[in-house]
Structure 1
Amino acid sequence: MGFIFAVSQQVVGRTLVVKYSDGSVKMYDAIRLGCEWFRMSNDCFFEMYGFNFNPHAHGLYDICRKLVHGE
Structure 2
Amino acid sequence: MYAIKNEHGDFYTGNDYIFQSEKYAIFTAFRDEKYKKYKSLKVTENVKKRLELSCSNSFDYLEIVEVEG
TM score, norm. by length of structure 1: 0.30
Specify the structure having the higher radius of gyration (Cα).
1
TM score, norm. by length of structure 2: 0.31
Structure in which a larger fraction of residues adopt strand: 2
Structure in which a larger fraction of residues adopt helix: 1
Larger RCO (CA within 8 A; separation ≥ 6): 2
